[in-house]
Structure 1
Amino acid sequence: MSTVRRRRLAATALAVTATLTLGGCGTGFNAQTNQVYQPAVGANHRGEMDVLGTLFVMNEDKSATLSAGIANNTESDQTLSSIAVTTLDGKTLPVRSAKMSLPLPAGDLTTVGGASDAGGFQVADGATAGLYVRVTLTFSDAAPVTIQAPVVARTPEYAKVAGSDGLAPSDVSGEGSE
């Protein structure tokens, strides 16, 4: 084998080894592909009570409806016993609901704020689309969950979230409510 050919072979082997070695430098335990992916607008909290896709949807009367999925990961049935909402600067917002407690069966996901939810949980006034509010959910036996949730304008994307009258507004999507 000639000297030139050996040098080319050695250079190629070195280039391949360097590419494979240095290509792995950007990965590791904190690589982006190892992170939880959250494609939705709502905020998530994971724990013994997963609160997923949490957000408030504005209504025509300036109230905002809570929309979230609550997964009870405990081994016993829970109850959502209270909700407290504050602005990020600490102003308490009044919460209204037809039913202030919600059963959460063990191992199940319960959706809050659907059009069939009789209005769900709403802040009467003080939430502003484009900003965040701090929501504290208190459960019967599980630890409370505090999460910062966005407030969004009512658009066709949120047509299935209950409005202030307990029904999704028919004029939002142009197709009527469920």
Structure 2
Amino acid sequence: MPITLSSQAFRRTALTAAAVTLSITVTACSAGFSAQTYQPYQAAEGTNASSGGIDIRNMLVLASEDGKGELHSAIVNNSQSDDTLVSIESAPADAPVQNGSVPQDAEQKVTFGNVRPLTLKIGQLTTLPPATGAPITVTGGKPGNMIKVTITFGKAAPITTSVPVLTEDHYSPSPRQDAEHEG
């Protein structure tokens, strides 16, 4: 014998099914802004930092074992006016950093050369080393270390951050073949 429902019972059943379906859908999307897919992820090895509308992307140093290298980065001006990169210099060991990275060794003496004012046009990407002219040189940053830098702009607030030093072949240093192995 078939089961028949009154129109009132049918409406209740349909409403209950709709409520269950809606609650499942809403629950599945309830991760909100703390969902892993909303969290920033940097696939590059360099450091990202921002000051106002100036965005530093993938800043790193490529250096030889003796600590001589070049600064590499992309800088984007997303502000409302042109700005100028005024200087890049080693920051004090106890200076707070924007991205909370590992502080550099207090004994590590890092110097920057060929730093000159660089115009940052609105909406444009500027790369370091520049396409023309001498690259910004770094002395004292050995592969595997982090160095603390302060980047100063004409209008935007300065950025102090830690920057990784990689080998010249763009890889993080790995243990040498002749290093002793723990057994």
**TM-score for both structures, normalised by structure 2:** 0.65
Distance of 2:132 and 2:116 partners within structure 1? 16
2:112 is the counterpart of 1:95: yes
Q: Structure 1: which 4+ aligned runs deviate by more than 3 Å?
A: 15-25, 89-92, 114-117
Name the count of aligned residue pairs: 149
Distance of 2:170 and 2:33 partners within structure 1? 39
Give CA-to-partner distance per residue, 1:92-122, whole Å, 9 cap, x none.
Answer: 522111x52211112211101257442x212
Fraction of identical pairs, as percent: 34
Structure 2 gap segments, 5+ residues each: 4-16, 94-102, 172-183
Q: Indicate the structure whose relative CO is greater, using CA pairs within 8 Å and at least 6 residues apart.
A: 2
**Quick one: structure 1 residues 117 and 18, their matched pair in 2 at CA, closer, same or farther if it must change by over 3 Å?**
same
Q: Which residue is 1:133 aligned to? A: 147
1:20 is displaced (CA, Å) by: 5.3
Structure 1 gap segments, 5+ residues each: 3-12, 158-178
2:54 is the counterpart of 1:38: no
CA contact (8 A) 1:59 1:65 kept: no
Give CA-to-partner distance per residue, 1:12-42, whole Å, 9 cap, x none.
Answer: x7x98886576456x2211111122311111
Distance of 1:115 and 1:141 partners within structure 2? 24
Q: Which has the larger radius of gyration?
A: 2
**TM-score for both structures, normalised by structure 1:** 0.67
CA contact (8 A) 1:51 1:69 kept: yes
Distance of 1:130 and 1:81 partners within structure 2? 27
- Does the residue aligned with 2:61 lie in a helix, a strand or coil? strand
Q: Which residue is 1:151 aligned to? A: 165
**Structural RMSD (CA):** 3.2
CA contact (8 A) 2:110 2:147 kept: no
Q: Which residue is 1:108 aligned to? A: 124
CA contact (8 A) 1:71 1:110 kept: yes
